[in-house]
Structure formats: structure tokens, C-alpha cells
Amino acid sequence: MNRTRLARVLTALLMILLLFTATVSAEETAVAPTATRDPNAVPYDYDHPERLLPEQIVAHAFVLMELETGDILMQRGADEEMYPASTTKIMTALLTLEDCEMTAAAEGVTLDEVLNRRITISESAVDIPADASKAGLRAGDSITILDALYGMMLESGNDAANALAEYVSGSQEKFVDYMNDAAGAFGLTNTHFMNPHGYHDPDHYISALDMAAISKAAMRKPIFRKIVSTLNYTISSGVRNALNLYNSNRLIDPGANTYYYRYATGVKTGTHSMADHTLVAAAEKDGVTLLAVLLFTNEYSRWADAKWLFEYGFTQYTSLTPEQIYNKDPYTIQATSFSLSDEGMGELTLAIEAVDPNETARITGPNADVQLLMESYRSYTTIQWTRGRQPRAPIYQGEVLGVMTFYTPDGEASKYNLIAPRDIAARTDAPLTLEEIEELARTDPLPLPPFSWDWITPPAIAFVAMTFAMRSVVRWVRNARRDARQIPKPKRRTYR
């Protein structure tokens, strides 16, 4: 090789090197910075979680929602368009489950039957970038829809997300259109999807508030809640080798040391360079269910962010059942005609029991609102007594003495039996109560015993005898007065 050719080769290599360096530099400058906490934020007070401040949260955009009411307890940047990363898969799971529910209804079969139907993994489903998260599926695998849901939500498999998208809509592109149509139907104004899994695209974004709305809808589905709260799952059928899936949400992992949160119930993590780390998490305590959406936070702070928000929320909201509210101030009634040996002197504090145990009602809201309702709950109730407000003994333990209807502030009605907690024996010589006399008069206003000469003859004889006696007395008096008039009276004389 002569010097001219060598110079040309070296020049070409140098240009390639410079081009490569420029490309790397361009990629590095495109990488978003790591999220950090506000350096001016006061330290978090673990002893007083109710004092949490928004600036103590690392996430650039976040929302804390109470799921029962949909109330927002704390937020920052809630309407900003952010990259969701793999939390996108919550929408994919929601739409897949809704499609399965519609199929089950149309065919008259159960949801479980539809979820256990098999889908074949296509070449396009596993055609994903090398750095994308995978469930480990291969083209030709035959797995159930339920398996694919677990693979997508636990292992965050983009391959599983693609497979579900193709099952629901026939292609990934059509499913993306479905996602955006659904976002519009939800009223989400700061959301746009480009794929079913969240792999980065500049036009793939969502706001924290929109993500909270999607997650709230998904959490209403029992099968979704079961999936996202599962730590481990194995796909053993229809694949070359068993796939052991592990949930990346450390909040639900007891082995995750300080990251574990005992009240956590799900739901989904996400990460890529432009989104940093994202998290949608849920937790339930004493009937209060909270949802935290964290967008653009870092790998470790997202767990603390979520726990601090949950601890704050649980100090702000209360959830009680009508039974719990009633038991704070139960109804007490006074029985009548009770045995004088009764230790409670006929007084009963009634127990309560739902007429339909399958119907559950809760009153959830800010502490002050629930406290006010507790203090005035009787104004939200009506009672239909089965034996009157003051039932007559005997009364037997377990006897239903009335039905109370509890009306929640949002207008829902729940019925509860009012039950005698103990026996009350009756007096053997107890007189009728005024209430019983009134009831007797109402049901039989002129009660007459059956006719019998045995009870009418003696009073009749006595009446006749008394009549004759009175006539004899009257006659004697008249005769005495007549005789007195016939005797002459002496004249009055005057002596001088």
C-alpha cells in the first residue's frame, strides 16, 4: 500500500471515529438528568407523616388519590405531559380485560374461561429492541391470555404487551389507535400513546392526573388487582422452558428490606433514560385505598416517595362501615313486662347485622367529614320495628327486633337487622301496657265475651231484688208522710 492510499484509509477511519464520537455525544446530551429532591426542602419527619410537604417528594410530577372518592390529596405538576415508560402497560391491561369481559358477555361464558384461552406469539410480538424489557416469550409459544397479562405486568414484558395488543385488535398499530380512542373517551387531555408498552417515543406521553384516572379504572377490576399484587408467577405450559416471573415492584416484596411497605397492593413500575423511573403504586389500610402516581423520579427515591405519600394520606382520610359507626352509639330500648329478676331491668342495647352479608358499604372521606357523620348518623337512618319500640317480654337472644336502613351521604341504602343480644324473661302477672291496650282497642274496639246464662242470671236476680227493695222503701216513706199530715196540730196560744 502506497502512502497516498494509506493516507486515504487513515482519513476515512478518522472521519468514522469523529462521526461515532459525535453520535455518542448527541445521545448523551439527549439523556434526561436524574431526578433529585429539592435541596431546600426540610427533612421528612417520620414521626409526623401528616406534615409531608410537596417539595419533599423527588418525583417531578405526582398525584396522591383516594380511590373510593377519587379525591386528590396532594399533587404537583399533575397536568404536565410526561413520559410514562412501562406504566403504559396499565392501559394495555385495562383494555385487554375490558375486551375479555365483552367477549364473555357476548358468548355467555365466564371471564375465567376467556382468560384461559390460548394465543400464539407472533414474530412481530417478539420483534422488540434489544434493551427493551422482556417476559422471555418466543415466536410460536402458545400461552393463555392470563399468562400474557402476568408476563406484561410482573416482568414488564414488551413482548407480552405486543401479544395482547395483537390479540385484542389484530395488530399493534390498531391497538394503539384503540388506546388513544379510549383515552379520549376517558376525557384524558394530556395523553397520547405510540405503542402498547411504553418504550420511548417523543410522542408517547401522559400526565400524572391522566395516569391516575386510568389506574383507578383498572383497580376496580378484581383480576387486575390480583395480578398486580402477585409477587411471583410461572408460565409453565406452551413455552419451551418454564418462565419464572418476578414482580419488579419492591413495595410488595417482604424481602426488599426498607423498600417493602406492608400496606402496598400493586401496581406497576417503569424506567427508561428519558423518563428516568416511574411508579404507580396502591396501598390499603383500614378501608382507605390510596393510589400514588410518580413520574420522573429516581430508582430508589420512588419507593420512599410512595411510602411518604401513603403515610400522609392515611392520616387524612378515614373509612368506616355502618356497623362501625353504629357501634359507637348503638340503639338502646326498654322492654316491658320483664321479670323482676332480670339484671338489666328490661333494658337492651341492640346488636347490628347486615341483612345481606354480601352487600358491603363504607363511608370514606376526610377525617372531619366522617367524624361529623358519626356524630349525627341517626339522621341518616330509619327503623322499622318488628314488635314495637318497647317490645313485651319474653325476648330471646338473636331475635330480630327491627330493621335499620342506613343511607350513606351519596344516597346508597344498606339494611341491617337490630338483634337482641340476650334473653329477657317475662313477668307472669304483668299488666297490659298502654301500648298493648291501644293495640287491643285498635284490633278489637268492642271486645265482648261469648253469651252465657251462667254469667247473666246472677246479676239479673240481684237487679230485680234491688228493684223490689227500692220500691218497698219508697212506699213506706210515702205512707209515713201521709199519716203525719192527718194528726192535728195544736193551736199556738199567747199568754199575757
Active site residues: 86, 89, 156
| Count, residues in the chain | 496
Specify whether the CB–CB gap between 56 and 42 falls below 8 A: yes
Helices and strands, counts by H and E, the chain: 13, 17
DSSP state of 86: G
Q: 3-class DSSP state for residue 319? A: strand
For 49, 149, 293, 328, the CA distances from 222, given in Å and listed in that order, are 30, 14, 20, 32
Q: Report yes or no: 211 and 221 within 8 Å, Cβ to Cβ.
A: no
User: Cα–Cα distance between 66 and 69 in angstroms, integer?
Assistant: 6
CB within 8 Å of 143: residues ≥ 6 apart: 118, 119, 121, 137, 151, 163, 235, 237, 238, 239
299's grid cell? 430508582
CA distance 309 to 279: 13
User: Which of 35, 83, 74, 40 shows the shortest CA–CA distance to 54?
Assistant: 74
d(CA 217, CA 105): 19
In this structure, the number of other CB atoms found within 10 A of the CB of residue 221 comes to 16
